[in-house]
Structure 1
Amino acid sequence: MNAVALASLRNRLGAFAAAFLSVFLGAAIVMAFAAMLDTAAQPGVPSESRTTLIIVASVVGGWGTIIVAAAVAAALAVTTRQRAAELALLRSVGATPRQVVKLIMRESWLVVAAAAVAALPIGCGGGFALLAMLRHTHQVSAEVGYRFGPAAIGIGVGIAIVASMTATRLTAGRAAKRVVREALFAATAGPRRMGRIQLWAGLIGLVGGLSCAVVTATVLDAGDAEAMQSVAAEGCILAGIGFALLAPLLVGAAVTVLAPAVRLLGGQSGAIVLASIRQRLQRAATPMMPVVVATSVATGTLYMQLITNSVHTATNPGDRSVETLNYVMVGVISMFAAVMLVNLVVVTLADRRREFAQQRLIGATPRRLLGLVCTEYGLVLGVGLLFGTIGALVTIVPFGARITHRAVPPVSIGVYLAVVAVVATLTMVTAVLVTRRGNRIDPITVLHAQVA
């Protein structure tokens, strides 16, 4: 089984490289924050410094861990779903569902283990840089030494393995149980329906985000800025995760609502784009997930801090600590979401090389294909930005109303426009570059490579 798994890895280096990158970055981020627990556990650490280190590891690291685990699971699930045709052929030649699942699990284990080991030095360096920043801002005593120990390694490697292998097991189990005809259809169009686990997880995330908004608006004391920020920030994070998990449903609803306008403006090209998204709804919605998370978390957290600063500046160590935590959270989550966005756009477009080659053979020009891809990703991007903005408002509206007593907080719209510009640029530039590169290859060569 190991020999078969290694042979499969060698023949699918591109797809597994994307999964490797996701696990590698995710494990490194979790290790960096978990190292603060090892550092805090050292003897002789002052109590104030120990408290700050534990808060950084538990609050920022905890939410970062949840987002990293969800993103890694999504990347591994995408990689597994892209092999639906291969799995169907294995079933057709006599492989049992158990053998198929075992093969996929063995392959994923090799990738995840290699990525987790490779992430160790990066996680160690990231933790050292994080501690240096806390020292520089005088939130941790300069005498506190750095330690990268069992908490960092155990939590970082454990989260990467558990999230990756759980997602792979669930996806592989569904794929292996399909009959051959259904599996071949899924290989072309993707799954017909969203899984129940994903649906319920998305709904729970939305309910959690709205609950945080209600508590912020009605229960918490407006004078306790630290408690207000703690709960309000959870609103945009949970809402962003919820909307991201429900991305297939949201894209499907948006396509239905916007279909007349797209046909009117795009003509035949617009009709083709709508048909393409409807046929492969799950795959079309995959790049939308990091768009929603990045927009919701970055916009919600930054504006929450801007609203706080508009009322009073950070004058005591506690206020400065909370402000630093907010900026670190935005930076880490946004960076990871940006990498995942580029990664998923590349993976999903690379998986459509055969489709694009067939369209070119029947007369579609590279320019026309590029226009179709831009229209499709523009639509998905617009939906992602819309629901990411709604997720951010779950934090901004109740927090701003309680702190400033105004329906519209007195802050500039420039930060929001900057977030939208960065997310839109990453999405569209990546889509254009990958499509143009694929169009340079002769379509016959692409089809021959796909068959081989």
Structure 2
Amino acid sequence: MTSLVLGQLRRRPAAFAGTAVALLLAVAAVTLFGSLFAADLATPAAVRKASAGPGLMVIAAAFGEIAVLVAFFVVVNALGFALRQQHRELALLRTVAATPRQTRRLVRGEVLITTLLVTVPGWALGAVAARWFLAALQRRAMASPAVRVPGTPVPMLVALAVVLLVGLAASAVAARRISRIAPAAALTASSTEHARTGALRLLAGAGALVGGVLLLRLSASRPADQVDKAGQAALLASLVLLVAVALVGPFAARVLAAVLGGPLRVLAPGAGWLADANLRGYARRLSSAVVPVALLVGLSGTMSIMTFTAGRAAAAAGGTASSAGSVTSATDIWLRQTELGMLVCFATVSVVNTLIAVTADRRREFALLRLVGATRPQLLRMLSAEAVLTTAVGVLLGAAVAGAATSAFSAAVTGSPMPPVPVATCGWIVAGATALVLPGILVTGHWAVGGPAAELVGGGRD
């Protein structure tokens, strides 16, 4: 089994590159915040009380709960695509008498080896980030100069254990479908897409939606002097709502694609028609590409509008901070910007990895279109139209999540559900998402439409 796992990793290094980067970031994030927790625990109580601000452990918890959840979201997404790209190989193994248990063992082995390969670099990155973050807090008087990150390996070991646990759980979910169906059907399933979303997935999506709404109510009901709690609840609500979007994504993506596809057909009659038909016919694939874009736009928009709203509220109140934990001071705005930068880093990895994987996975489809007369320029124009529509759907979903979260936060801070919007910042967020999506699809598409068409359709090359 070990040789088979290593063979798969050597044969498809690009497929596991995104998973490796996501796991690396997850290990680094857990190591970072675990080291801050350890530093706070190792510091005498008198030293901890001497510093201003909410405290090192509170800051680490506030950052960590969101950053770690986003990191694991990215890991699950990346792992799903790594397995999707080797779906055909797993199906072939099932047809030559590999048992479901052996298939799951193979997938678990791939996750285990990939995690171990990135563990040491992840530890190093997390340790360096912990010292940098602590030094930045000390410069802003939010941590005592006497606090030091201890040399204990416990945070690193905890990071490895947690990331392994999540990776193995994600592999079990991702390998469930291919390991449960009949061997003869496995090979056919590797090239088809089910139109219906499973009842369990829809129920989970409904549960996440209800949870997000409850968190929004919690955020909106916070008193004005508990801005931090309202902000954390709103940010967590946006993440839970994005999970709901991921679970019910095929349905939502199909509806939005149908609405936006009409204008696209008019503006680009040839490529637009084909792009619209592709996206609506493969709603699950569209959802896979759209969700990371929604993650990037939703989290970035939520953080930016929340910070802007808090600043406006402070200015209206005379510019005084309400408490040591308020988000209205310059140091707390820096904290929010740092958290935003970290979340954007995770979301960017998810966007790039997903778009490259989705586009590269369509080589046989492009080869078949070439065999029936489509030229490479026509396929690239079709991909351009798909990229525009994918960006639009992702931005709309992300904006809807950000709008709901910031409306609840604004109700708590200003008493109005209509938050002030930093138009320029939101414009840059949309421009950044577009700059990631269009080149990611087109550069990968330029490679994917190449190669001998007949050989690719026959499965001779990937």
Could you tell me the TM-score, scaled by structure 2's length?
0.89
Q: Which residue of 2 aligns with 1:8?
A: 8
Q: How does 1:124-163 map to 2 (within 5 A)?
A: 124-147=127-150, 149-163=152-166
Task: Determine if contact 2:352/2:437 at 8 Å carries over to the other structure.
Answer: yes
Aligned runs of 1:139-218 on 2, under 5 Å? 139-147=142-150, 149-196=152-199, 198-217=201-220
In structure 2, distance between residues paired with 1:183 and 1:252? 26
Equivalent residue number for residue 333 of structure 2: 323
Asked if 1:58 corresponds to 2:68, the answer is: no
Aligned counterpart, 2:48: 47
Match for 1:9: what amino acid? Answer: L
Superposed displacement of residue 220, structure 1:
2.1
Name the structure 2 match of 1:237: 239
Q: Percent identity of the aligned residues?
A: 25
Q: Does 1:98 align with 2:101?
A: yes
State the partner residue of 1:73. 76
Alignment counterpart, residue 437 of structure 1, candidates 430, 434, 447: 447
Deviation at 1:280, TM superposition (A): 3.1
Report the 3-state secondary structure (helix = DSSP H, G, I; strand = E; otherwise coil) of the residue aligned with 1:188: coil
Query: CA offset at residue 435 of structure 1?
Result: 1.6
Listed as ranges, the gaps of 5+ residues in structure 1 are: none
Conserved? CA contact 1:245–1:289, under 8 Å: no
Residue matched to 1:372: 382
Aligned 8 A contact 1:28 1:123 in 2: yes
Confirm whether residue 342 of structure 1 aligns to residue 349 of structure 2: no
1:164 Cα deviation (Å)? 1.4
Q: Which residue of 2 aligns with 1:294?
A: 296
Distance 1:265 1:43, change over 3 A: closer
The residue number in structure 2 matching 1:420 is 430
Distance 2:320 2:195 in 1: 51
SS for the counterpart of 2:156 is helix
1:275 aligns with 2:287: no
| Cα contact 1:210–1:235 (8 A) shared by 2 | yes
Match of 2:224, SS? coil
Which AA in structure 2 matches 1:210? V
Name 2:22's counterpart in structure 1: 22
Given that residues 291 and 341 in structure 1 are in contact (C-alpha distance below 8 angstroms), is that contact kept between their aligned partners in structure 2?
yes
For residue 259 of structure 1, report the CA deviation from its aligned partner.
4.6
Question: What amino acid does structure 2 have at the position aligned with 1:301?
Answer: M
Q: Which moved more, 1:161-170 or 1:188-197?
A: 188-197
Segments of 5+ residues of structure 2 without an aligned counterpart are none
Q: 1:5 to 1:232 in 2, by over 3 A?
A: closer
Q: Residues 156 and 266 of structure 1: is their aligned pair in 2 closer, same or farther, counting only changes over 3 Å?
A: same
Stretch moving more, 173-182 or 404-413 = 404-413
Aligned length: 451
C-alpha RMSD over aligned residues:
2.5
Q: CA separation in 1, counterparts of 2:179 and 2:417?
A: 52
Q: TM-score, normalised by structure 1?
A: 0.91
Q: Which of 243, 254, 257 is the equivalent residue of 1:255?
A: 257
When structure 1 is superposed on structure 2, of 184-193 and 105-114 the one drifting more is 184-193
Q: Secondary structure, in 3 states, of the residue corresponding to 1:189?
A: coil
Q: Distance in 2 between matches of 1:260 and 1:420?
A: 22
